[in-house]
Amino acid sequence: MVGIIGPNGAGKTTLLRIFLGLLKPGSGYVHLFGRTPETLGQEREKVGYMPQRSVHKQNFPVSTLDVVLMGLVTSAGLGRGFSRKQHEKARQSLDKVGLLELQEKPFSILSGGQQQRVFLARAIAKEPRLLLLDEPNAGLDLPAQGRFFNLLAELQETQGLTVVMVSHDLTVISRYAHKLICINRTMHIHGSPSEVLNSPHLEEAYRCEYDVLFGSKARGQA
């Protein structure tokens, strides 16, 4: 589980879009599973993606199961109905995040934490090997964040997932990630959470004073 951190405008979301093949790097190269993102073809099924929390109309008529089924849409399947096998996969994904009993409930009535778990179920519905997450804890209170990250860590271990996650919350991400990459247009630091959070290069990357608690240490001021 790798966390990508950095200030606003550092290029964190842009980096995920390059991984997805939505953007091309201005220089250098990116390989996923031995190929460039735009040439992955069927290998693209190995990549799951959870974008930043989306804004939707509260009365939008879609069920919780429908949201997860959207993660099984392929370019070849656009305009077609979902098969029985796809429905079963979607239910299995909901079961993994502990929300199977809510499959028929309107998505709009779920709490913020439940909605994020549904989006996670959608991202893993294709049983990916690589999971890309963009600010998955944004807008969640602390208890909901804890439940989400504990679930993610469990899925990462049981499903054998490689997780790359963008986060602005240094304290939370350092608790769960095995490695951190700090970027601000370029990579400033890469290492374990303790190495990164105690590095003098962190302040250089953020270009401001910061306040990070890691264990019993505090660096700088907010």
Locate the domains of the chain by residue range: 2-219
Provide φ and ψ at 154, rounded to 5°. -65, -45
Single out the residue of 116, 125, 166 nearest to residue 146, CA to CA: 116
| pLDDT score at 216 | 40
CA dihedral 117, 122, 123, 129 (to 10 degrees): 110
| pLDDT score at 59 | 62
Maximum mean pLDDT: which of 66-70, 146-150, 205-209:
66-70
What percentage of the chain carries pLDDT values higher than 90? 46
In angstroms, the CA 176 to CA 172 distance is 7
CATH placement of domain 2-219: 3.40.50.300
| pLDDT score at 202 | 86
Residues in the chain: 222
| pLDDT score at 48 | 92
Is residue 222 over pLDDT 50?
A: no
- pTM across the whole model: 0.84
Banded pLDDT at 61 (limits 50, 70, 90): confident
Mean pLDDT of the chain: 85
Rounded to the nearest 5 degrees, what angle is found at the Cα of 66, between the Cα atoms of 12 and 120?
35
Question: Lowest-confidence range among 8-12, 31-35, 75-79, 81-85?
Answer: 75-79
| pLDDT score at 203 | 83
